[in-house]
Structure 1
Amino acid sequence: MSTPHLPAAARPTLTAALPPAHATRRRWLAAAAAATCAPWLGAGRAHAQEGAVRIGQSTALTGPLGDLGSAMHQGAKAAFAAINARGGVHGKAVELVTLDDAYEVPKALANVDQFLADRDLFALFNCMGTPMIEAMLPKVIDSGMPFVAPFTGAQLSRVKSARNVFNIRASYADEAEKLVQHLSTIGIQRLGIVYQNNSFGKEVFQSARQSMDRLKLPEALAVTVENNASDAGAAAAKLAGGHLEAVVIGLAGKPTLEFVKAFRALQRGVALYALSVMGTPATVKALGPDATGMAISQVVPLPSNVVMPVVRDFQAAWKAAGATAEPSHLALEGYINARVFAEALQRAGRNPGRAAFLDALWGLKKWDLGGFEIHATTPDRNASRFVELTLVGRDGRFLR
């Protein structure tokens, strides 16, 4: 016999059909099991109701920086999977729609055009790469669609008038300042800076130089490296001959590998300091012994630091999602970004419009995500200022 079609609210559930004692026990067991996997969600329903909040992500799943994009994507997916398993947000699942742009601007723009044309898409989330975000930003700002957690530390995404763009991660300026402050604290005077000859590298250089001026450090010996790394060897030779105590590295991708290998072949006693975009497991593995001893700034906590509640929650979600890769900083960053999105969606109430969602995002003041604070102020400022230094150990693992 067929079951008559009923509206969602009128459909009987299995729990409602059970005797009261069994129903109570079933609900208690389900809530206890879910809370064990994701205690930050509290008790709730086991499955999301009908409907979903669809959000779009253009990121590099392949290409030269595919390892970065894939790690963040997996971390975000783990968070949303845990949220959806607990009933979603106000009973609605969060559906992450991801398109691969292979770290190519034309593909990223085509992806964003597709997202902006989709009337059922609620927001853009965690799109990746300074060049890609710079290209897509005018369209996104003009559309008014919420753009949450663009993956860049560049100031170009921090637009004072763009209330629909919500930056989370600490900026490249924050990272460069942390590195220079540390070097000043330990008494380093003879400093070199190598930076990529693009907008990313120039921003790192300017931020580092401003910090050095403020701390009254001597002027650094500075060199550039082209995006194709063709002059990485020449840059390494110039810095190796500069009698330096430390080098700040404002490079990403292939230039990082080529420069570090060339420099280590010439000089092994000089401390190397790099930004978070360099500190991926793939890059560290590719460098091998040349990575040992490098100091790298990170914009999220160490993903093995289970003293922090947010890391414990992340590890539980990562395991529940069946992830086989070792948890990384980038995966944790994707997870944190997803948690922030879900929190704002929760605060915005049932069936919120984009305006209510943006109000909820900007209402996140000193919100403690288990040791990681989100504090929204103005669109030209990122909501997190978290930066800590890590060290690459002999086994390639990060240490604090």
Structure 2
Amino acid sequence: MLHKNLILLLLIVCALLCISANVFANIENQPVIKLAVSNATSGPTAQLGIRLNQGANTYFDRVNREGGLAGKHIQLVLLDDGYEPYKTLINTQNFLKKKDIFAFFNYVGTPTTHAVLDKVSQSHVPFLMPFSGAEFLRKPVIKNIFHLRASYYQETEQQIHFLVDEKGMTNIGLMIQADEFGISVEKGYLMALKKRGIKPTVTTRYRRNTNDIKLALSILKAKNVQVVAFVGTYEPFAQLINSAYQQDFTPFFTSVSFISSRDLFQRIKQPSNVLVTEVMLDPANCNEAICLQFMDDMKAQGIKTVDQILFEGYLNAFVFVEVAKQCGESLSQSCFLEKMTNFTYQDKGLTIEFSENDHQGLSSIFLNFFQFDK
């Protein structure tokens, strides 16, 4: 009897193992739409890549739970580039060798996207929603490159309008990251200032992926500028603001959305005048349907603190899915690019619109001021 029970138990175990093997085989062989992501998930800009990916994955998880796109699940294929252009180029070359990538997605940074621009444009693979406002990605229009966020020229114009036209500040110093990102945003500041008959009092530079701001700070302080327009990442900018305050140097500080206001503001240790322009709605304070859905999905994941970067990743994913749906079971890169060119989405105060001559979906700019909490 014991022998028979043992045999029966072994048969049950074998059956369960076979079922499990079939389930895993089905999951492994399930058709997927692969989106190639090279961005920073380590180093001084890690939080940008991490939260952008998290926001996108949250929306894609929702879609995948509901059956995916025409029965295909969406998968982010993630590679870390540490915000270093040569790593981005290597990652992109590796993606292209695989031949199964549907699109490039959620790349972060101007120097990194500049490094792969030729490869991407020649590949004809869709390059979607890079986290950069650089003009070289926008003009001239490149057939397979689309952006959601507003440009750095639009951001810098709004900053200078506030600081010069509204506040009357004209003694302005620039502190610029020494790379393509710095060049791109600096051009925006120079154009906005020139429009008002103003030149920067002084321009200083510092190296990417460092917090080496001492020399630049001493130069800006010596010129006693009223405003420091900073181009770079949140860690050196926070160090600049904190160090300036310790030296009794308290100008108005300003920067574009790439800085990540959430990461910057939580590093400022004292009362300071800081403006960051944003290119996304604050999802915690808007009533659009996509904002409310985003908040519900974040809550379901146990995420209590949200920001524009999480929302941007989520919105990037939303746009991808909405465009892909229009192709149905005939989804292909060529169909996707055709539908993307004519895509429009309207929800109360949120309008996303692309056209043949304009591959930038949003243009709104929001002013976000630092508020010191003791």
Interval of TM-score (by shorter of Structure 1 and Structure 2): 0.7 to 0.9
Q: Where do residues 347-366 of structure 1 align in structure 2 (5 Å cutoff)?
A: 347-365=326-344
* Structure 2 residue 373 is the aligned partner of structure 1 residue 392: no
* Structure 2 residue 109 is the aligned partner of structure 1 residue 91: no
Where do 5+ consecutive residues of structure 1 fail to align? 3-48
CA displacement at 1:109 relative to structure 2 = 2.1
Alignment partners' CA distance in 2, 1:369 and 1:267 = 47
CA displacement at 1:323 relative to structure 2 = 4.5
Deviations 1:43-69 (A, max 9, x none): xxxxxx953222111111112211111
Q: Which residue of 2 aligns with 1:28?
A: none
Amino acid at match of 2:243: A
- Contact map agreement 1:201 1:251 (CA 8 A) in 2: yes
Q: Using a 3 Å threshold, how does the CA distance of structure 1 residues 85 and 387 change in structure 2: closer, same or farther?
A: same
Mean CA deviation greater in 163-172 or 299-308: 299-308
Q: Using a 3 Å threshold, how does the CA distance of structure 1 residues 325 and 280 change in structure 2: closer, same or farther?
A: farther
Deviations 1:342-389 (A, max 9, x none): 111012232321111001111114x22563321213566522112111
CA displacement at 1:77 relative to structure 2 = 0.6
SS in 2 for 1:54: strand
Amino acid at match of 1:142: Q
- Contact map agreement 1:60 1:70 (CA 8 A) in 2: yes
SS in 2 for 1:63: coil
- Contact map agreement 2:234 2:263 (CA 8 A) in 1: no
Amino acid at match of 1:77: N
Q: Using a 3 Å threshold, how does the CA distance of structure 1 residues 66 and 232 change in structure 2: closer, same or farther?
A: same
Alignment partners' CA distance in 2, 1:293 and 1:313 = 33
Mean CA deviation greater in 374-383 or 68-77: 374-383
Deviations 1:59-107 (A, max 9, x none): 1111221111101110111111112222323333222221222223333
SS in 1 for 2:298: helix
SS in 1 for 2:277: strand
CA displacement at 1:305 relative to structure 2 = 0.9
Return the match for 1:79 from 59, 70, 83.
59
Q: Where do residues 147-296 of structure 1 align in structure 2 (5 Å cutoff)?
A: 147-160=127-140, 162-192=142-172, 193-216=174-197, 218-227=198-207, 232-267=213-248, 269-289=250-270, 292-296=272-276
Q: Which residue of 2 aligns with 1:68?
A: 48
Q: Where do residues 97-112 of structure 1 align in structure 2 (5 Å cutoff)?
A: 97-112=77-92
Deviations 1:248-299 (A, max 9, x none): 2222244323322232223454221111122343333233326x44111011
Q: Using a 3 Å threshold, how does the CA distance of structure 1 residues 61 and 323 change in structure 2: closer, same or farther?
A: farther
Alignment partners' CA distance in 2, 1:379 and 1:265 = 49
- Contact map agreement 2:341 2:359 (CA 8 A) in 1: no
Alignment partners' CA distance in 1, 2:277 and 2:89 = 30
Q: Which residue of 2 aligns with 1:138?
A: 118
Alignment partners' CA distance in 1, 2:316 and 2:128 = 8
Alignment RMSD (CA, Å): 2.5
* Structure 2 residue 314 is the aligned partner of structure 1 residue 335: yes
CA displacement at 1:231 relative to structure 2 = 5.9
Q: Which residue of 2 aligns with 1:5?
A: none
Amino acid at match of 1:336: L
Q: Using a 3 Å threshold, how does the CA distance of structure 1 residues 358 and 294 change in structure 2: closer, same or farther?
A: same
Alignment partners' CA distance in 1, 2:77 and 2:347 = 25
- Contact map agreement 1:212 1:219 (CA 8 A) in 2: yes
SS in 2 for 1:288: coil
Deviations 1:3-50 (A, max 9, x none): xxxxxxxxxxxxxxxxxxxxxxxxxxxxxxxxxxxxxxxxxxxxxx95
Q: Using a 3 Å threshold, how does the CA distance of structure 1 residues 324 and 255 change in structure 2: closer, same or farther?
A: same
Deviations 1:133-171 (A, max 9, x none): 111121111111111011211122225252011122111
Q: Using a 3 Å threshold, how does the CA distance of structure 1 residues 237 and 110 change in structure 2: closer, same or farther?
A: closer
Alignment partners' CA distance in 1, 2:373 and 2:286 = 20
- Contact map agreement 1:244 1:270 (CA 8 A) in 2: yes
Q: TM-score, normalised by structure 1?
A: 0.79
Mean CA deviation greater in 240-249 or 334-343: 240-249
Q: TM-score, normalised by structure 2?
A: 0.84
Return the match for 1:374 from 347, 352, 363.
352
Mean CA deviation greater in 371-380 or 275-284: 371-380
Alignment partners' CA distance in 2, 1:91 and 1:230 = 47
Alignment partners' CA distance in 2, 1:147 and 1:191 = 40
Alignment partners' CA distance in 2, 1:54 and 1:379 = 27
Alignment partners' CA distance in 1, 2:196 and 2:250 = 24
Alignment partners' CA distance in 2, 1:274 and 1:312 = 28
Structure 1 residue ranges, 4+ long, deviating more than 4 angstroms after superposition: 228-231, 378-381
- Contact map agreement 1:59 1:101 (CA 8 A) in 2: yes
The alignment covers a number of residue pairs equal to: 346
Alignment partners' CA distance in 1, 2:187 and 2:89 = 28
- Contact map agreement 1:160 1:380 (CA 8 A) in 2: no
Alignment partners' CA distance in 1, 2:270 and 2:149 = 29
- Contact map agreement 2:49 2:108 (CA 8 A) in 1: yes
Q: Where do residues 36-47 of structure 1 align in structure 2 (5 Å cutoff)?
A: none
